[in-house]
A and B are shown apart, each in its own frame.
Chain A
Amino acid sequence: MKLVLGTLTLCAFFGSALSPTSPTTSFGPAPASGALVTASPGEVGSVKGKALFQGEAPRRRKVDMGSDPACHALHAEDARDESVIVGEKGELANVFVWVSKGLEGKEFALPTTPAELDQKGCTYVPHVLGMRVGQKLVIKNADPVTHNVHSFAKKNKAFNQSQQGGGKSLEQVFDKEEVLMQVKCDIHGWMSTYVGVVAHPYFAVTKADGAFEIPGLAPGEYTLSAKHEVFGTQKTAITVKVDGVVETAFTFAEE
């Protein structure tokens, strides 16, 4: 999947696939173009899976936007709390899944496109965002009201800035890995989003069907972690083989 053009050029030079036991620990910096391409099958494997919730799904409360009528007016019907979204068969959305061990010391080229966080209808879109260390984060405000974007980063530098409705985008870059850093708007207390910042491209966020997929992972042994803002973190060890697809599932429950 996400190997770098530079790496591929190198591969082409040697005319052969990188061996899984290749001593190369660094994939090298990306060329200026930095385009990300999916590695061809035969070199890498992938991980697929689902996040599930066990037990009775908590009720999704109505989001009370009473304190700001301007926000309330943006919704035809009541918005619902996004922190726990469970499907009919227990599929759990908004779980951040990433390779937490096994990629140490390797470097991966950065995507040139920035990660994007928007504020729409006084909610954050997306509710959980994954991005890379060093990648630019662009924060937009599509609402007609002023928000403030307040990160509660523990490892990275925290920031707190106000943003006028329809005003200029804010930009941030994080220089350390930090999974699920809370970013919220203090003016509208219900607005909360979580950003997972990782040093490599192997992460995903579960969709409404609870599914995720992390392709293009070089063969090897890894620890795969999944974190939900309410239900905490789960880990599992996986072994990726060439062309292999590892299937895994995370099951969360209320403490």
Chain B
Amino acid sequence: MTVHPSSAAPAGRGSAPLLAGLFVATAVLVAYGFWSLGGLPELASRHGVSIDATITYLFVTTGILFLLGHGVLTLFVLRYAGSAERAAPERGSPHASSKLEWRWALVPVLVMCVIAEGGVLIVGMPAFAQLYGEAPPDSFVVEVVGKQFEWLVHYPGPDGVFGRSEAKLVNDARNPIGLDKKDPAAKDDIYTRGQMHLPVGRGALIRLRALDVLHSFTVPQFRVKQDLIPGFLGRTQFEPTRTGQYELACAELCGLGHYRMRGFITVESQEEVDQWLSEQEPAF
């Protein structure tokens, strides 16, 4: 079989600057966008510092790799654009240079081991330990019960003990978290619909429970996100560091009102929290 002269292949060098321009523009715009548009909400928790540090670390490292990659791509597109003048490409069997190929394969492996694994282990670990390690012994304990489409916030009341609750006692209007009236510890319990008050500068330990489907406890400013799984008692912990009101959102698809599942977290001084708690109506 003979080799036919190409009828479709030759294409003008003019494409090279166009595509090079496109890749430069992509690199510059994407990087600039990350720099300027992608601001995280203002941080308001202690462990969040490490999370933000990890994000910044990845910003810088992946940013360099991204720009480098696009730079080389652009250079190659310009440098090796085919032209009528250059009759043939430079010759050389690739297998003669397979050592070179292996060397180039080692580069990303090493770079990724250092940048990515290093990042995961060294920069990321502390935040993970704070999120999932032992809660500080003096933590302020609150329970959050997720249901379609509300956050029910449950406080143990003055006795500091959460009352027993049971699914069959749940009544939407009268007993939304199913507290057992017969349990003495439940009498003084307090529950609210989506109102959580937390003391500033003290660890908060949030017990997580769901009544119907999956939900996810999310406060972007605290950099926390943890799923609520029906049938399991989960938990998350963080330490609010700034006073103010924050929105509690649901991050796991839970049904048609998912986008409306809103709660409020007020971070204030311990005295104000105590004052607020004392104003609440007890469960029974």
Contacts and interface: CB of A to CB of B under 8 A. Distances in A.
A64 B176 CA distance: 11
Given A61-B281, A66-B264, A67-B263, A189 B195 contact: no
A68 B173 contact: no
Contact of A230 (B148, B150, B174, B260): B174
A108 interface: no
Nearest to B152: A189
Contacts, number: 66
Interface in A138-166: 146, 148, 160, 162
A148 B193 contact: no
Interface centre among B152, B173, B193, B264 (most CB of A within 10 A): B173
B262 A68 contact: yes
A67 B262 contact: yes
Interface string B162-202: 00000000011110100000000000000011110000000
A186 B255 contact: yes
B257 interface: yes
Interface in A52-69: 61-68
B212 to A, nearest CB: 9
Interface residues on A, range: 20 to 34
Interface string A97-120: 000000000000000000000000
Interface residues of B, number: 23
Nearest to A61: B281
A66 B257 contact: no
Interface string B253-284: 00111001011100000000000000001000
B13 to A, nearest CB: 58
B192 A192 contact: no
A65 B193 contact: yes
Interface in B103-158: 147-152
A186 B258 CA distance: 10
A83 B263 contact: no
Given A65-B193, A67-B262, A187-B260, A81 B150 contact: no
A27 interface: no
A255 B94 CA distance: 87
Contacts of B263: 67
Contacts of A66: 192-195, 264
B193 A67 contact: yes
Contact of A186 (B257, B264, B281): B257
A70 to B, nearest CB: 10
B257 A190 contact: no
A50 interface: no
A186 to B, nearest CB: 4
Contacts of A187: 149-150, 257, 260
Given A64-B193, A66-B264, A67-B262, A189 B176 contact: yes
A68 B257 CA distance: 12
A235 to B, nearest CB: 24
Contact of A83 (B150, B173, B192, B260): B173
Interface of A: 61-68, 81-84, 146, 148, 160, 162, 184, 186-192, 230
24 contacts: A61-B174, A61-B281, A64-B192, A64-B193, A66-B192, A66-B193, A66-B264, A67-B150, A67-B151, A67-B193, A67-B262, A67-B264, A68-B194, A82-B173, A83-B173, A148-B256, A162-B256, A184-B172, A186-B256, A187-B260, A189-B149, A189-B152, A190-B173, A190-B176
Given A66-B264, A189-B149, 11 more contacts: A61-B174, A64-B193, A66-B193, A67-B262, A184-B172, A186-B149, A186-B255, A187-B149, A188-B150, A189-B147, A189-B152
